[in-house]
Structure 1
Amino acid sequence: MTIRLAVSEDAAGIARVQVESWRTTYPGIVPKSYLDSLDVKKREKIWKQAAKNQPLYVAEAEGEIVGFAIGGENRDKGTYPEFDGELYAIYSYQHVHGNGTGRALFEHAARNLAERGYKKMIVSVLSQNPAVNFYQHMGGRYLGEETITIDGVDIQESFYGYDDINNI
């Protein structure tokens, strides 16, 4: 497995990982109507632009993108002002869970934030996501929950904070 910075040509692979990850992780958590509406082509456009604007990391195995991670400035400074950085997204195919892909992506994204001058990082995760344990294992401390609404359904979202991303 290789971790590298994404280029805009990786957008289709990133979009496939994101859509497949949502569809395999969130049944019973996120409404089926929303999962069914996820569209790889629409996501591809978003990720093509993101790869141009922000450091975006991909995990590649045997020539296939199997995961990705992206982070930047905390988008919710009103709720958690002490955290200047945020891990926006980290996803991987289910078949690579447990082989170090998530850890490597997480570490690359955190290191990149540190290199860009960020000190503390926050991440949000749907509270019922089985990956919640991953964020705790990576040293995150539980900060709290908020309720978000997806397709008319209220869903709990948990926040984890990392007080010194230089130590991740």
Structure 2
Amino acid sequence: MKSQRAQANPLQVFKVCALSFWFFLPAESIGPSEAVARENEPPIFVTWPEKGLGLSIDLTGFKKVIDQVKPDGRRNLTALHPKTKLNVSITLEKVPTQATAQGCLEQLQLIRKGPYVIGGQDIALNVTGEIPTLGYTLHEFQGNRLDEKHVYACVAQDNVYADIHL
């Protein structure tokens, strides 16, 4: 039985995010904890001052769940929309060389070969737009019915990759 509750369309949310937040900016001297999503606020800045980078994203209505630098050095922000239950995860990774669209494509291809995507349906790698995306639907996981749509995207700017998962 399909749930009748209202759900945000992940592709529409992704398009809104993609249009509003892919401006990499020099980080100001504010800490990661200041990147808190609150309703009716302008876009927030996910910053990583120690690495001198950040990005702006509109997360109106979302609540921050995770805001940290991972042990492997990547910066991660995860937020949840309490009404729609939509999760957004953004990971920033600084690399020693120029980040490229080809590097993004390679990352999405690795994800595509992973165990979750292989078990999904309607798998689609889209490289025709400005931002390459990988989408799939996971109808079931470990015997539980989900019907979850997943969208991954990657953006390359200077020497930073931004990986997004909805």
TM-score normalised over the length of structure 2 = 0.28
TM-score normalised over the length of structure 1 = 0.28
User: Which structure dedicates a bigger proportion of its chain to strand?
Assistant: 2
Larger of the two Rg values belongs to structure: 2
User: Which structure dedicates a bigger proportion of its chain to helix?
Assistant: 1
